[in-house]
Each structure stands twice: as structure tokens, then as C-alpha cells.
Chain A
Amino acid sequence: MKQSLEDEFTAFVAERGQALLRIAHAMTGDREAAQDLVQGALAKAYSRWPRIHGDAEAYVRKILYNDRVSAWRKAGNRNEVSVADVPERMSVARHDDDVAERLALREALLSLPARQRAVLVMRYLEDRSVEETAEALGCRPGTVVSQASRALAKLRDLVGRVTPLEASR
């Protein structure tokens, strides 16, 4: 019985691990932090595997988001930036508007507070609805809308300083 649960868990990680790491990497912007986040969430899932294995992915995703936001809160960071290998602004000087824009947006994304980034990852990477995002993050749908709206406004502001978004397209 125990062996079959372990096999099931291992198969789940083999099948869904990459998708979970993608979410974690989009949330943290750092490979090691993403790996730690996913491993912690999987460990919690494994500790409850007999009860949650029917809906394990949803459980792990919720833990991923909540652990990331909670860690940010506990650290007392309002503007935490977990940036690994962030491209330097010098690369903008390559006069490639498209590349510069994407790099600027990447950098701006990583400068957002964890909660706003979590909302954007759910909405833009996972294509989740406002309601689904609210449920996963344990907040009101109105909060999701306002956080997304604020994040977009901030991104426009940050990216616009490097390259005017509308003008370059």
C-alpha cells in the first residue's frame, strides 16, 4: 500500500513537476528559490497524500502561491526583488526595441510585490479567472482585480521609463 502511494506520488511529480516549477519560477525569478518552493509544497502534499492525491495538483498550486506570499509577508518585504541573472540595463543599448521591451518588462515583473506577481502569474501564465485566482489566494475577487490593475499600472510606469510601450509597437 505504502509503496503504491510512493509510486503514485513519484509519477505525479514526474508528470506535473515541470508545470509546477514553471509557476514557481515565474513567481520567484530564481531557479533555486523556485526549486525550494516546489519541493516544500510537494513535501506538504506528500505528508497528506492519502487524503489529497485525488486533487493533488490543485493542493500543491495553492500551497505554492500561499507559501510564496506568506514568506514575503513574514520577511516584512514590501518591495522584495528576487532577481537572479537579471539582464543589465546595458543590454538595452543594443537598440533592439523588442528585446529591450521584453527585458524591461521582465525586470519590472520581478520588482513587483509577491502578491501582485502571484495574481499576474495566475491570470497570465495559468489563464485563471478572477474568481479562481481569488479562491487560490484566499481573497476577494475585487482584490484580485485591484491588485492586477495596480500591477499593470506599475508595469506600464516602470517599462515606460525604459522604452515607451505603445510607441514601439
Chain B
Amino acid sequence: MIDDLLRSAVRDLADESYTPSGIASRAMAQGHRIRRNRRTAAVAGALAAVLAVTVPFVVLRDPAVRPEPLPAATPMIVRPTFDRGEVFRGPGGARLLGFSEGVENFVLDPENGYRRLPTADTPFDPSPDGRHVAVGRAGQESLQILDLRTGDYWKTPVAATSDVTWSSDGSRLLVTHDDGYSIIEPATRWSVTHRVASAQLPCPILCSFTWSAGTTEVASPRSVSRGDEKTEVSGLTIFDADSGEPLRDLPIKGAPTGPNPWSADGRWVLVNENPRSSGQLRIVEIASRRETARFTAVWAGFLPDGTVLAQHGGDLTRYGIDGTVLEKMELPAGLRGRGLTFGF
């Protein structure tokens, strides 16, 4: 019902627009100014580059950073069925922890398959261990943690405003706000919120924090200005999860992306080079900044064995670190077009 009403309301709102005359010519004039500014910046950049080679600090480019072509592997495609009464497993044994169908949301109850959450709950993510779900509730600003074993809700003091990510062991929840992040520990009912000054962390489009090493550090990409558009990630800032203090910068030119972007051994990270185009993902070796694979996916995450699970359209694929396709699975009809959350 509200779907139809909302569609009408959004369209009514859109219908109130009108086309002003001369918008093309004004846009062209503004576009010319942008081009001029960009050229000026390019000339300044070229001068800076000339100066840079005259100083005795030379950054040698590692020839190994050149991406290698992906092997043309053609594994057998698996086409499983889906039964809501049973646990669904993706490639690599990854368990489907939850899925959404329109405004209805289902989470895995290991004993009884997938169960519907109360409609008052807006689930953000089930924990990888399947124990908790972070939820929002209509009319309540704070994030709540639903214990799937007991059915108890814990109303945290943290505002449920944005993206949430569980640590890979499911013990801690990272909540991204527009100006910082919170850490929540359901077992001890502890939480902390850190506000990060925008000057300290110029984020691209939206600040997005991810776990970067177990449960003790979090990372967020920094952006660099290019002309009037902030489009490029210049590196990552690593923060101490508990204190909120910046620890170090990593010269990784990409935003960690997906539900579990860091490998368990801390050697590799999945990044999206351009935060405005989230389809092209890369696997990068952190120490050398070497890119080892590149593929297209709507989301991807590291499995505990160091391989990568990714979804593209109606397919799930497990990649090796070098981009080798190890397994491919076609999603059953009951899961196509749904928002899926897997345990990693």
C-alpha cells in the first residue's frame, strides 16, 4: 500500500518541476569555467612535477603493480535451489544470514531456517556468527541489537543513522555516521562514539568506515580534490577503534568496499578505485600496493580462507587472490533481486 502511495508522491513532486529557458547555455558557460580551472590546475601540476624530479626524492614505481590478465578459467556453474526452511550456502560455504524482499526482512535462525523479522524492525545487518541483528525501529532514533537466541532487544545509545558493519567474528559492530563512527559490543553492552573532524578526514561523497584489522582498528578513505569534483581516493586513514585516534595512513588509492574488505591475515584489501562507480573492484596487496585482480561486482568480501566471494547480477563467484575464478553459482529464483547478506 505505502509503495503505491510513495510512488505517486515522488512522481507528483517530480511533476512540479519546469524547464527554464537557457539552462543549456548557462551550463555551457559554467562548463567553460570548469575547463579553464582544470587547465590552470594541470599547468600548476606539471610545474610541480618538474620541480619534483629535481629534488633527490625519487619514488620508484614498482613494476609489479601492473595488473596481470585474469586467467580464463571456466569452472562448472552450480545452480542450487532455495528453501526458506534450510540454511542456504554460497560458494566457499558462506552462509546466507539474511535477505530482504521489499519491506520484509528475513534472518537466519539456525534451527528453523529463515524467519521474518517484525515489520517494526529495520534490519541493518545480521552478525557473521548469526547471533545478533542490528535493527532500527520506527520512531526511535537509537540503534537496537536483537539477540536472535533470546529474542531480547538492547537499545544502544548510538544513533542509527548510517551504515553498519560487523567485525568478522561477530563480536563488535562498527556504525558509520556522517561525521565519525561508533563501536558497539553486544556481549558487554559497551559502546563508544568518535566524531572525526571533516578537516581530519575529507571523505569522498560519504564517509565510510570499515574494520581493518580484527576488532581493534578501523579504516576510512580520504579524498583528493580534482578541479571542482572530489572523485579520487588519495589514501586510507587507520584509526584506533576504541580511542578514535588516527594511527597511520596507508597509500592505498581506493575505498575499501563490501561487507568484509580486509583479508583475515591483513595482507590484502578489496577496494573500489572510484567511489562514484562502485562496480569495478580490485584486490590490492597492502604492503606493495600491487593490484592482483580486478573484477566487476555489486559487492565482494574476503572469506576466512583468503578467497573472495562476490555477487554480480544473479551470480555468486568465488575468486582466488589472483582473480582466478574458483567457483560460480547461479542464484536461485527465490533469491534473485533480493538484498543478500552472507556470513564471511
Contacts and interface: CB of A to CB of B under 8 A. Distances in A.
Interface in B5-25: 5-20, 23-25
Contact of B31 (A34, A45, A120): A45
Given A17-B23, A21-B19, A115-B206, A73 B298 contact: no
A17 B19 contact: yes
A139 B256 CA distance: 11
A156 B122 contact: no
B276 interface: yes
B279 interface: yes
A39 B22 CA distance: 10
B10 A140 contact: no
Dominant secondary structure at the A interface: helix
Contact of A17 (B24, B205, B272): B24
B17 A34 contact: yes
A154 B138 contact: yes
Contacts of B298: 131, 134-135, 141
A127 to B, nearest CB: 9
Contacts of B19: 17-18, 21
Interface residues of A, number: 72
Contact of A26 (B5, B14, B23, B299): B14
B10 A26 contact: yes
B276 A66 contact: yes
Interface string B250-276: 000000011100000000000010011
Most buried by A among B27, B34, B275: B27
A138 B278 contact: yes
Given A39-B27, A109-B9, A146-B124, A140 B163 contact: yes
A24 B10 CA distance: 11
Interface residues of B, number: 75
Contacts of A128: none
A9 to B, nearest CB: 7
A4 interface: no
Nearest to A23: B14
A40 B6 CA distance: 28
B191 interface: no
B178 interface: yes
Given A10-B24, A42-B24, A157-B139, A120 B205 contact: no
Contact of A129 (B1, B16, B20, B337): B337
B142 interface: no
Contact of B122 (A34, A69, A101, A146): A146
Nearest to A139: B206
B288 interface: no
A33 B13 CA distance: 14
B171 interface: no
Interface string A1-19: 0000010011001100110
Given A22-B14, A142-B341, A155-B2, A42 B31 contact: yes
Contacts of A106: 9, 12-13
Given A22-B14, A38-B23, A106-B12, A139 B7 contact: no
A135 B124 CA distance: 18
Most buried by A among B10, B16, B228: B10
A39 B19 CA distance: 11
B229 interface: yes
Given A106-B12, A169-B1, A44 B206 contact: no
Contacts of B15: 22
Given A105-B6, A135-B278, A155-B6, A142 B23 contact: no
Nearest to B124: A146
A66 B161 contact: no
Interface string B75-111: 0000000000000000000000000100101000000
30 contacts: A9-B28, A18-B19, A21-B17, A26-B13, A31-B16, A35-B23, A39-B26, A42-B31, A43-B27, A43-B30, A44-B228, A47-B38, A66-B205, A70-B230, A73-B205, A78-B161, A78-B178, A124-B3, A125-B11, A135-B277, A135-B279, A140-B257, A140-B258, A142-B339, A149-B103, A149-B122, A149-B123, A150-B136, A152-B103, A153-B122
User: Which 3 pairs of residues, A with B, have the shortest CB-CB distance?
Assistant: A46-B31, A43-B30, A42-B27
